């Protein structure tokens, strides 16, 4: 079994060197790595959820710092933290329910059971408040085996009771890890199948003889369009090439291979062609809490053109791309600059550099941003694996996946004795 820290270091290096890029790949690798971290983490009898949360935060902090622009990494870290909190709360509530039921059956007869419900709202609220709370002194003392009292006990009743308590706590520890790992497995499955779940909705949005415009290359968009084609919908696709990486060329080739009528256009021709378009369908790098979109460079221009001509602008995004942070958050890196060699080769670039000047600095500067930010006012509809949503609803949808306590990924400082 490989060392977990070695796996973490290897993934950090791959993120720094951009060997793993894209929301889907980074999200899936992050979830699989955190599953390994949780499965190998030894947790104490007390504050079991807190121990798992600290372990996940320690790893998540490294992963996010390795490549901050890959927001899906932070999204998955926060999703796993939320899973731990929810599973711990579920176990705590179940324990309280069991204690209440046993107390009712022992102390009350059948006629009085209706007047005392087994699990009250106050008990559930107490369970929620006690989740991850530091243990009290009494709890710590109860969890430490008292060897002297064990040896001095005259009967075996105390021994059996102590063993029973220890077995219960060990069983709860294994139960928590098992439930968390099962939930993370479901998360990994959701990430892998998000394209299919989004594509199932294609027939509801693409109609006969429509013209669809997209930019660059996106697997989600590809599967979405092909799903509509499989439902016998006849339509044409305009693909803007997505300079300077020209990912649109790859998408256009794949669409033609699958039998779709495709027209490849330059990015500068979007405004000229938008009047013929019925709908713009694009992918996204990340969806922010305010409904804004981090998308491949050039999409803000497409969104402005669509708004000007009253063309619906639809964004396809899996739930792993939903980010609980706002664009103005200092932890959010909205863009990064790629190599100038994608625009000019090194020979052309060196010819434009004037080292004879006093400063010795080049007269030509090349700026090659990776992403655009599309404000929510330009987005007509989001289609996720849970259905279609308006941009104003995204903050509520995102709140279902994350805890407010995990917006800042930072491990709790250890308290010295």
User: How many C-alpha atoms does 178 have within 13 Å on its Cβ side?
Assistant: 7
Output the pLDDT for position 121: 43
The model's pTM is 0.82
Average pLDDT (260-266) is 97
Residue 280, H or E segment: strand 279-282
Q: Copy the structure tokens of residue 394.
A: 């995204």
Number of H helices, E strands in the chain: 15, 10
Looking at the predicted structure, is the pLDDT value of residue 86 above 50?
yes
Output the pLDDT for position 57: 96
Contact 321, 286 (CB under 8 A): yes
Higher pLDDT, 156 or 102: 102
Q: What is the pLDDT of residues 303-320, one digit of tens each?
A: 999 999 999 999 999 999
Q: What is the pLDDT of residues 87-114, one digit of tens each?
A: 999 988 888 877 666 665 555 555 444 4
- Torsions phi, psi for 151 (to 5 deg): -70, -30
The length of the chain in residues reads 417
Higher pLDDT, 145 or 323: 323
Output the pLDDT for position 350: 67
Looking at the predicted structure, is the pLDDT value of residue 197 above 90?
yes
Query: Domains in the chain, ordered, with CATH?
Result: 194-401 (3.40.50.10470)
Average pLDDT (195-216) is 96
Find tokens 């902090």 and name the residue: 61
Q: What is the pLDDT of residues 329-368, one digit of tens each?
A: 877 888 899 988 888 877 766 666 655 556 666 777 889 9
Output the pLDDT for position 137: 45
Q: What is the pLDDT of residues 369-416, one digit of tens each?
A: 999 999 999 999 999 999 999 999 999 999 999 999 999 887 666 554
Peptide bond between residue 244 and the one before it cis (omega within 30 degrees of 0):
yes
Output the pLDDT for position 343: 86
Output the pLDDT for position 153: 46
% residues pLDDT > 70 (the chain) = 76
Name the CA dihedral angle for 184, 186, 189, 193, rounded to a multiple of 10 degrees: -130
Nearest to 392 by CA among 404, 373, 375: 375
Contact 312, 306 (CB under 8 A): yes
Residue 124, C-beta contacts closer than 8 angstroms, at least 6 positions apart: 93, 96
% residues pLDDT > 90 (the chain) = 65
Output the pLDDT for position 138: 44
Output the pLDDT for position 78: 97
């Amino acid at each position: 079994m490989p060392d977990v820290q070695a796996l973490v270091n290897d993934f950090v290096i791959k993120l720094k060197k951009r060997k793993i890029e894209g929301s889907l790949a980074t999200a899936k690798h992050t979830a699989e790595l955190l599953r390994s971290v949780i499965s190998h983490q030894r947790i104490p009898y007390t504050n079991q959820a807190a121990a798992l949360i600290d372990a996940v935060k320690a790893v998540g902090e490294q992963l996010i710092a390795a490549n901050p622009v890959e927001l899906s990494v932070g999204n998955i870290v926060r999703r796993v933290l939320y899973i731990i909190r929810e599973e711990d709360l579920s176990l705590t509530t179940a324990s309280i329910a069991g204690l209440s039921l046993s107390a009712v059956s022992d102390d009350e007869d059948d006629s009085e059971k209706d007047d005392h419900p087994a699990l009250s709202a106050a008990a559930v609220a107490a369970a929620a408040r006690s989740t991850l709370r530091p243990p009290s002194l009494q709890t710590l003392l109860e969890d430490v085996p008292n060897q002297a009292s064990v040896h001095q006990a005259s009967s075996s009743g105390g021994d059996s009771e102590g063993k029973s308590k220890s077995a219960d706590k060990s069983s709860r520890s294994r139960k928590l890890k098992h439930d968390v790992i099962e939930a993370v497995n479901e998360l990994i499955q959701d990430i892998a199948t998000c394209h299919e779940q989004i594509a199932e909705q294609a027939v509801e949005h693409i109609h006969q003889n429509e013209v669809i415009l997209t930019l660059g290359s996106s697997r989600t968009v590809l599967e979405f369009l092909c799903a509509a084609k499989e439902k016998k919908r006849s339509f044409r696709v305009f693909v803007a090439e997505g300079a300077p990486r020209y990912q649109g060329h790859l998408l256009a080739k794949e669409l033609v291979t699958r039998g779709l009528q495709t027209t490849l256009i330059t990015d500068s021709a979007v405004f000229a062609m938008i009047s013929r378009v019925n709908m713009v369908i694009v992918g996204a790098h990340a969806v922010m809490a305010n409904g804004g979109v981090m998308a491949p460079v050039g999409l803000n221009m497409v969104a402005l053109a669509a708004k000007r001509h009253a063309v619906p602008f639809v964004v396809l995004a899996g739930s792993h791309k939903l980010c609980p942070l706002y664009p103005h958050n200092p932890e959010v890196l909205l863009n990064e600059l790629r190599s100038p060699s994608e625009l000019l080769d090194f020979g052309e670039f060196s010819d434009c550099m004037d080292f004879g000047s006093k400063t010795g600095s080049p007269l030509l500067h090349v700026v090659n941003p990776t992403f655009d930010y599309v404000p929510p006012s330009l987005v007509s509809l989001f289609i996720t694996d849970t259905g279609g949503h308006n941009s104003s609803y995204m903050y509520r949808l995102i709140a279902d996946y994350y805890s407010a306590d995990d917006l800042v990924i930072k491990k709790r400082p250890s308290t010295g004795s």
